[in-house]
Protein backbone atom coordinates (compact mmCIF):
# COMPACT_ATOMS: atom_id res chain seq x y z
CA UNK A 1 0.00 0.00 0.00
CA UNK A 2 1.39 3.39 -0.94
CA UNK A 3 0.74 5.70 1.99
CA UNK A 4 3.11 8.46 0.89
CA UNK A 5 1.81 11.97 0.88
CA UNK A 6 3.14 15.42 0.15
CA UNK A 7 2.76 17.90 2.96
CA UNK A 8 3.98 21.48 2.50
CA UNK A 9 6.62 20.27 0.09
CA UNK A 10 7.85 17.47 2.36
CA UNK A 11 7.40 13.88 1.29
CA UNK A 12 5.95 11.86 4.16
CA UNK A 13 5.96 8.07 4.03
CA UNK A 14 2.57 8.05 5.78
CA UNK A 15 0.08 10.89 6.34
CA UNK A 16 -0.02 10.32 10.09
CA UNK A 17 1.76 12.93 12.16
CA UNK A 18 2.20 12.99 15.92
CA UNK A 19 1.08 16.55 16.69
CA UNK A 20 2.61 18.89 19.22
CA UNK A 21 2.49 17.63 22.80
CA UNK A 22 4.90 16.96 25.66
CA UNK A 23 5.10 13.34 24.47
CA UNK A 24 7.32 14.47 21.64
CA UNK A 25 9.87 15.98 23.97
CA UNK A 26 11.51 12.59 24.52
CA UNK A 27 13.88 11.19 21.92
CA UNK A 28 12.81 7.65 22.80
CA UNK A 29 9.22 8.61 21.94
CA UNK A 30 10.27 10.18 18.66
CA UNK A 31 12.19 7.04 17.72
CA UNK A 32 9.22 4.87 18.66
CA UNK A 33 6.86 7.04 16.61
CA UNK A 34 9.16 6.64 13.63
CA UNK A 35 9.31 2.86 14.18
CA UNK A 36 5.53 2.71 14.39
CA UNK A 37 5.08 4.45 11.05
CA UNK A 38 4.56 8.14 11.77
CA UNK A 39 5.14 10.29 8.71
CA UNK A 40 6.48 13.22 10.74
CA UNK A 41 6.53 14.58 14.27
CA UNK A 42 5.74 18.03 15.62
CA UNK A 43 7.72 19.00 18.68
CA UNK A 44 5.90 20.59 21.62
CA UNK A 45 5.65 24.35 21.23
CA UNK A 46 8.20 26.87 22.27
CA UNK A 47 6.19 29.84 23.48
CA UNK A 48 6.66 33.52 22.71
CA UNK A 49 6.57 34.15 26.45
CA UNK A 50 9.53 31.80 27.05
CA UNK A 51 11.58 33.46 24.33
CA UNK A 52 10.79 36.94 25.61
CA UNK A 53 11.50 35.93 29.21
CA UNK A 54 14.93 34.69 28.20
CA UNK A 55 15.66 37.90 26.33
CA UNK A 56 14.62 39.98 29.31
CA UNK A 57 16.83 37.96 31.57
CA UNK A 58 19.79 38.41 29.26
CA UNK A 59 19.16 42.16 29.05
CA UNK A 60 19.09 42.35 32.82
CA UNK A 61 22.39 40.52 33.00
CA UNK A 62 23.95 42.82 30.41
CA UNK A 63 22.96 45.74 32.63
CA UNK A 64 24.74 44.07 35.53
CA UNK A 65 28.00 43.67 33.60
CA UNK A 66 30.82 46.21 33.70
CA UNK A 67 31.08 48.31 30.51
CA UNK A 68 34.16 46.37 29.44
CA UNK A 69 32.57 43.07 30.26
CA UNK A 70 32.11 41.60 26.78
CA UNK A 71 34.75 38.91 27.16
CA UNK A 72 33.30 38.02 30.49
CA UNK A 73 29.85 37.82 28.91
CA UNK A 74 31.07 35.28 26.40
CA UNK A 75 31.66 32.78 29.15
CA UNK A 76 28.81 33.94 31.32
CA UNK A 77 25.80 33.48 29.02
CA UNK A 78 26.27 30.15 27.28
CA UNK A 79 26.73 28.26 30.51
CA UNK A 80 23.74 29.96 32.03
CA UNK A 81 21.38 29.57 29.09
CA UNK A 82 22.30 25.98 28.29
CA UNK A 83 21.50 24.95 31.82
CA UNK A 84 18.26 26.64 32.59
CA UNK A 85 16.48 28.51 29.80
CA UNK A 86 13.71 27.13 27.60
CA UNK A 87 14.69 28.42 24.17
CA UNK A 88 18.23 27.07 24.26
CA UNK A 89 17.09 23.66 25.38
CA UNK A 90 14.46 23.70 22.68
CA UNK A 91 17.08 24.27 19.99
CA UNK A 92 19.00 21.41 21.48
CA UNK A 93 15.91 19.23 21.25
CA UNK A 94 15.54 20.13 17.57
CA UNK A 95 19.17 19.18 16.92
CA UNK A 96 18.96 15.92 18.84
CA UNK A 97 15.64 14.99 17.24
CA UNK A 98 17.12 15.73 13.81
CA UNK A 99 19.99 13.36 14.55
CA UNK A 100 17.82 10.67 16.11
CA UNK A 101 15.20 10.16 13.38
CA UNK A 102 14.91 10.34 9.61
CA UNK A 103 11.30 11.49 9.32
CA UNK A 104 10.66 15.28 9.23
CA UNK A 105 10.92 17.09 12.55
CA UNK A 106 8.55 20.04 12.64
CA UNK A 107 9.30 22.70 15.26
CA UNK A 108 6.32 24.48 16.79
CA UNK A 109 6.48 28.20 17.43
CA UNK A 110 3.60 29.44 19.53
CA UNK A 111 2.79 33.10 19.93
CA UNK A 112 0.40 35.94 19.36
CA UNK A 113 2.41 39.09 18.67
CA UNK A 114 5.09 39.85 16.11
CA UNK A 115 7.48 41.75 18.32
CA UNK A 116 10.76 40.65 19.77
CA UNK A 117 10.78 36.89 19.29
CA UNK A 118 10.24 36.07 15.63
CA UNK A 119 13.95 35.89 14.81
CA UNK A 120 14.01 32.74 16.95
CA UNK A 121 12.47 31.07 13.90
CA UNK A 122 15.83 31.46 12.19
CA UNK A 123 17.51 29.62 15.04
CA UNK A 124 15.03 26.77 14.56
CA UNK A 125 15.99 26.63 10.90
CA UNK A 126 19.70 26.58 11.75
CA UNK A 127 19.11 23.85 14.33
CA UNK A 128 17.80 21.60 11.57
CA UNK A 129 14.00 21.74 11.78
CA UNK A 130 12.35 20.44 8.61
CA UNK A 131 9.53 22.99 8.88
CA UNK A 132 7.91 25.36 11.33
CA UNK A 133 4.38 25.03 12.62
CA UNK A 134 3.29 28.48 13.70
CA UNK A 135 0.59 28.21 16.31
CA UNK A 136 -1.13 31.55 16.66
CA UNK A 137 -3.11 31.10 19.83
CA UNK A 138 -4.93 34.34 20.35
CA UNK A 139 -8.20 35.08 22.09
CA UNK A 140 -9.38 38.57 21.13
CA UNK A 141 -10.75 39.52 24.54
CA UNK A 142 -10.22 43.20 23.74
CA UNK A 143 -13.72 44.17 22.65
CA UNK A 144 -12.44 47.13 20.68
CA UNK A 145 -10.64 44.80 18.31
CA UNK A 146 -12.39 44.18 15.01
CA UNK A 147 -12.42 41.00 12.97
CA UNK A 148 -10.20 42.75 10.44
CA UNK A 149 -7.67 43.57 13.21
CA UNK A 150 -7.57 39.94 14.29
CA UNK A 151 -7.02 38.74 10.73
CA UNK A 152 -4.28 41.30 10.21
CA UNK A 153 -2.53 40.14 13.35
CA UNK A 154 -2.33 36.59 11.99
CA UNK A 155 -1.06 37.86 8.65
CA UNK A 156 1.54 40.14 10.25
CA UNK A 157 2.94 37.37 12.41
CA UNK A 158 3.09 35.05 9.41
CA UNK A 159 4.79 37.74 7.29
CA UNK A 160 7.44 38.26 9.96
CA UNK A 161 8.20 34.54 10.24
CA UNK A 162 8.11 34.16 6.46
CA UNK A 163 10.71 36.90 6.14
CA UNK A 164 12.91 35.18 8.72
CA UNK A 165 13.13 31.65 7.27
CA UNK A 166 13.19 29.68 4.06
CA UNK A 167 11.61 26.64 5.71
CA UNK A 168 8.07 25.53 4.93
CA UNK A 169 5.63 27.14 7.37
CA UNK A 170 2.36 25.63 8.54
CA UNK A 171 -0.09 27.89 10.36
CA UNK A 172 -2.15 26.22 13.07
CA UNK A 173 -5.14 28.44 13.44
CA UNK A 174 -8.40 28.97 15.18
CA UNK A 175 -11.78 28.16 13.62
CA UNK A 176 -13.21 31.47 14.81
CA UNK A 177 -13.06 33.55 11.66
CA UNK A 178 -16.24 34.89 10.17
CA UNK A 179 -14.92 34.09 6.68
CA UNK A 180 -12.70 31.07 7.14
CA UNK A 181 -12.23 30.51 3.41
CA UNK A 182 -11.03 34.04 2.71
CA UNK A 183 -8.73 33.86 5.73
CA UNK A 184 -7.29 30.55 4.51
CA UNK A 185 -6.58 32.10 1.13
CA UNK A 186 -5.01 35.19 2.69
CA UNK A 187 -2.69 33.02 4.78
CA UNK A 188 -1.71 30.99 1.72
CA UNK A 189 -1.05 34.20 -0.20
CA UNK A 190 0.95 35.48 2.78
CA UNK A 191 3.36 32.55 2.60
CA UNK A 192 1.75 29.71 4.57
CA UNK A 193 2.70 26.40 2.95
CA UNK A 194 0.14 24.56 5.05
CA UNK A 195 -2.84 25.18 7.29
CA UNK A 196 -3.44 23.04 10.35
CA UNK A 197 -7.13 22.90 11.19
CA UNK A 198 -7.84 23.63 13.97
CA UNK A 199 -6.26 24.81 17.16
CA UNK A 200 -8.26 23.34 20.00
CA UNK A 201 -9.02 26.16 22.37
CA UNK A 202 -8.92 25.25 26.00
CA UNK A 203 -11.69 27.19 27.68
CA UNK A 204 -11.74 27.37 31.46
CA UNK A 205 -14.61 25.77 33.36
CA UNK A 206 -16.05 27.08 36.64
CA UNK A 207 -15.71 25.15 39.85
CA UNK A 208 -19.00 26.09 41.50
CA UNK A 209 -17.93 24.97 44.97
CA UNK A 210 -14.54 26.64 45.23
CA UNK A 211 -15.67 29.49 42.99
CA UNK A 212 -12.58 29.43 40.90
CA UNK A 213 -11.76 28.68 37.30
CA UNK A 214 -10.63 25.17 36.59
CA UNK A 215 -8.08 24.79 33.86
CA UNK A 216 -7.93 21.05 33.44
CA UNK A 217 -7.07 19.89 29.96
CA UNK A 218 -9.40 17.28 28.52
CA UNK A 219 -8.33 15.02 25.71
CA UNK A 220 -10.42 15.17 22.55
CA UNK A 221 -13.05 12.66 21.45
CA UNK A 222 -13.88 11.59 17.88
CA UNK A 223 -17.14 13.54 17.98
CA UNK A 224 -15.02 16.70 17.79
CA UNK A 225 -13.80 15.77 14.34
CA UNK A 226 -16.60 17.50 12.49
CA UNK A 227 -15.53 21.12 12.54
CA UNK A 228 -12.13 20.39 11.01
CA UNK A 229 -13.70 17.85 8.67
CA UNK A 230 -16.15 20.44 7.37
CA UNK A 231 -13.50 23.04 6.64
CA UNK A 232 -11.02 20.65 5.11
CA UNK A 233 -13.79 19.44 2.80
CA UNK A 234 -14.66 23.02 1.84
CA UNK A 235 -11.07 24.21 1.39
CA UNK A 236 -9.80 21.15 -0.49
CA UNK A 237 -8.60 22.12 -3.98
CA UNK A 238 -9.35 25.77 -3.40
CA UNK A 239 -6.37 27.11 -1.42
CA UNK A 240 -2.74 27.10 -2.42
CA UNK A 241 -1.58 25.41 0.78
CA UNK A 242 -1.46 21.87 2.12
CA UNK A 243 -4.13 20.97 4.65
CA UNK A 244 -3.48 19.09 7.87
CA UNK A 245 -6.21 17.87 10.15
CA UNK A 246 -5.90 18.01 13.90
CA UNK A 247 -8.55 17.06 16.48
CA UNK A 248 -10.48 13.94 17.24
CA UNK A 249 -8.47 11.21 15.51
CA UNK A 250 -8.91 8.14 17.66
CA UNK A 251 -9.01 5.39 15.04
CA UNK A 252 -7.83 4.74 11.51
CA UNK A 253 -11.38 5.37 10.37
CA UNK A 254 -11.17 8.95 11.66
CA UNK A 255 -7.94 9.48 9.74
CA UNK A 256 -9.58 7.97 6.67
CA UNK A 257 -12.44 10.46 6.95
CA UNK A 258 -10.02 13.37 7.02
CA UNK A 259 -8.26 12.07 3.91
CA UNK A 260 -11.58 11.63 2.12
CA UNK A 261 -12.40 15.24 3.03
CA UNK A 262 -9.10 16.31 1.47
CA UNK A 263 -6.39 16.42 4.16
CA UNK A 264 -2.81 16.01 3.03
CA UNK A 265 -1.79 14.95 6.53
CA UNK A 266 -3.63 13.83 9.64
CA UNK A 267 -2.39 14.57 13.13
CA UNK A 268 -3.07 12.97 16.47
CA UNK A 269 -2.17 13.69 20.07
CA UNK A 270 -5.03 12.60 22.32
CA UNK A 271 -5.09 9.04 20.96
CA UNK A 272 -1.36 8.66 21.64
CA UNK A 273 -1.71 10.05 25.14
CA UNK A 274 -4.64 7.74 25.77
CA UNK A 275 -3.33 4.51 24.25
CA UNK A 276 0.43 4.97 24.12
CA UNK A 277 2.82 5.62 21.29
CA UNK A 278 2.34 2.16 19.76
CA UNK A 279 -1.16 3.28 18.82
CA UNK A 280 0.50 5.02 15.87
CA UNK A 281 1.09 1.59 14.34
CA UNK A 282 -2.57 0.61 14.61
CA UNK A 283 -3.53 3.88 12.90
CA UNK A 284 -1.09 3.30 10.05
CA UNK A 285 -1.99 -0.37 9.62
CA UNK A 286 -5.68 0.34 10.00
CA UNK A 287 -5.47 2.96 7.27
CA UNK A 288 -3.77 0.47 4.94
CA UNK A 289 -6.53 -2.04 5.65
CA UNK A 290 -9.26 0.51 4.95
CA UNK A 291 -7.66 1.51 1.66
CA UNK A 292 -7.16 -2.12 0.66
CA UNK A 293 -10.82 -2.86 1.44
CA UNK A 294 -11.75 -0.14 -1.04
CA UNK A 295 -9.31 -1.62 -3.54
CA UNK A 296 -7.26 1.49 -3.84
CA UNK A 297 -3.48 1.36 -3.97
CA UNK A 298 -2.60 4.86 -2.76
CA UNK A 299 -3.90 7.78 -0.78
CA UNK A 300 -3.95 9.91 -3.90
CA UNK A 301 -6.84 7.83 -5.19
CA UNK A 302 -9.12 8.73 -2.31
CA UNK A 303 -7.92 12.13 -1.17
CA UNK A 304 -10.68 14.70 -1.39
CA UNK A 305 -13.24 12.19 -2.71
CA UNK A 306 -15.71 13.55 -0.15
CA UNK A 307 -14.67 17.18 -0.45
CA UNK A 308 -17.21 19.81 -1.32
CA UNK A 309 -15.74 19.99 -4.78
CA UNK A 310 -16.22 16.27 -5.40
CA UNK A 311 -19.49 15.28 -3.77
CA UNK A 312 -22.57 15.18 -5.94
CA UNK A 313 -24.43 17.77 -3.89
CA UNK A 314 -22.05 20.50 -2.63
CA UNK A 315 -24.84 22.16 -0.65
CA UNK A 316 -24.49 19.28 1.82
CA UNK A 317 -21.70 21.28 3.40
CA UNK A 318 -23.79 24.40 3.70
CA UNK A 319 -27.04 25.70 5.09
CA UNK A 320 -29.21 23.34 3.09
CA UNK A 321 -27.75 20.42 4.99
CA UNK A 322 -28.45 22.08 8.31
CA UNK A 323 -32.10 22.54 7.43
CA UNK A 324 -32.28 18.94 6.19
CA UNK A 325 -30.68 17.62 9.37
CA UNK A 326 -33.16 19.42 11.57
CA UNK A 327 -36.08 18.18 9.51
CA UNK A 328 -34.84 14.60 9.48
CA UNK A 329 -34.36 14.67 13.22
CA UNK A 330 -38.04 15.45 13.66
CA UNK A 331 -39.02 12.57 11.42
CA UNK A 332 -36.82 10.06 13.16
CA UNK A 333 -38.05 10.01 16.77
CA UNK A 334 -35.93 6.96 17.68
CA UNK A 335 -32.82 9.14 17.32
CA UNK A 336 -34.13 11.48 19.98
CA UNK A 337 -34.12 8.62 22.43
CA UNK A 338 -30.52 7.86 21.51
CA UNK A 339 -31.51 4.59 19.78
CA UNK A 340 -29.85 3.28 16.60
C1 LIG B 1 -1.27 17.66 26.73
C2 LIG B 1 -1.33 18.41 25.43
C3 LIG B 1 -0.32 19.30 25.11
C4 LIG B 1 -0.38 20.02 23.91
N5 LIG B 1 0.64 20.89 23.61
C6 LIG B 1 0.59 21.57 22.44
C7 LIG B 1 1.63 22.45 22.07
O8 LIG B 1 2.63 22.63 22.78
N9 LIG B 1 1.51 23.13 20.91
C10 LIG B 1 0.44 22.96 20.07
O11 LIG B 1 0.41 23.57 19.00
N12 LIG B 1 -0.54 22.11 20.38
C13 LIG B 1 -0.50 21.43 21.54
N14 LIG B 1 -1.50 20.56 21.84
C15 LIG B 1 -2.61 20.39 20.89
C16 LIG B 1 -2.39 19.16 20.03
O17 LIG B 1 -1.24 19.29 19.22
C18 LIG B 1 -3.60 18.93 19.12
O19 LIG B 1 -3.70 19.95 18.14
C20 LIG B 1 -4.92 18.85 19.89
O21 LIG B 1 -4.78 18.05 21.06
C22 LIG B 1 -6.03 18.28 19.03
O23 LIG B 1 -5.66 17.04 18.52
P24 LIG B 1 -6.11 15.63 19.16
O25 LIG B 1 -7.59 15.59 19.08
O26 LIG B 1 -5.44 14.62 18.31
O27 LIG B 1 -5.62 15.63 20.57
C28 LIG B 1 -1.46 19.83 23.02
C29 LIG B 1 -2.47 18.93 23.36
C30 LIG B 1 -2.42 18.21 24.54
C31 LIG B 1 -3.51 17.24 24.84
> Which residue lies with its CA nearest to atom 1 of ligand 1?
21
3-state DSSP of 33-75:
HHHCCCCEEEEEEEEHHHHHHHHHHHHHHHHHCCCCCHHHHHH
Give the separation between CA 120 and CA 134, rounded to whole angstroms. Answer: 12
- CB of 216 sitting under 6 A from ligand 1: no
- The pLDDT, as a whole number, for residue 335 is 61
Confidence at 54, pLDDT banded by 50, 70, 90: confident
Give the separation between CA 121 and CA 24, rounded to whole angstroms. Answer: 19
- CB of 245 sitting under 6 A from ligand 1: no
> Is the per-residue pLDDT at 284 higher than 60?
yes
Which residues on neighbouring strands pair with residue 2, listed in sequence order?
298
C-alpha 20 – ligand 1 centre gap (Å): 5
Helix 147-164 × helix 120-127 angle, to 10°? 40
Return the higher-pLDDT residue of 320 and 33: 33
C-alpha 200 – ligand 1 centre gap (Å): 7
Confidence at 325, pLDDT banded by 50, 70, 90: confident
- pLDDT 10s digits, 247-280: 999 999 999 999 999 999 999 999 999 999 999 9
- pLDDT 10s digits, 64-105: 544 443 333 333 333 333 333 489 999 999 999 999 999 999
CA dist 274 → 102, 218, 225 (Å): 25, 11, 17
Give the separation between CA 285 and CA 277, rounded to whole angstroms. Answer: 14
Atom of ligand 1 nearest to the CA of 196: 19
Amino acid sequence: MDLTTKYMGLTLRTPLIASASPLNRELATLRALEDHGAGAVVLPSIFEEEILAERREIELRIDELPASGFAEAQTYFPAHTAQSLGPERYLDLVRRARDAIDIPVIASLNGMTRAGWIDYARSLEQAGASAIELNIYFIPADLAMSGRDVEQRYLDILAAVRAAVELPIAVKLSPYFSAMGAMARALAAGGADALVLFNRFYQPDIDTVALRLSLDLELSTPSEIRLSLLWIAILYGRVAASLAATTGVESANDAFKYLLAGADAVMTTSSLLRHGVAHMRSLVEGLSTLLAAREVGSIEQIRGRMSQQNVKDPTQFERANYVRMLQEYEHEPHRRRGGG
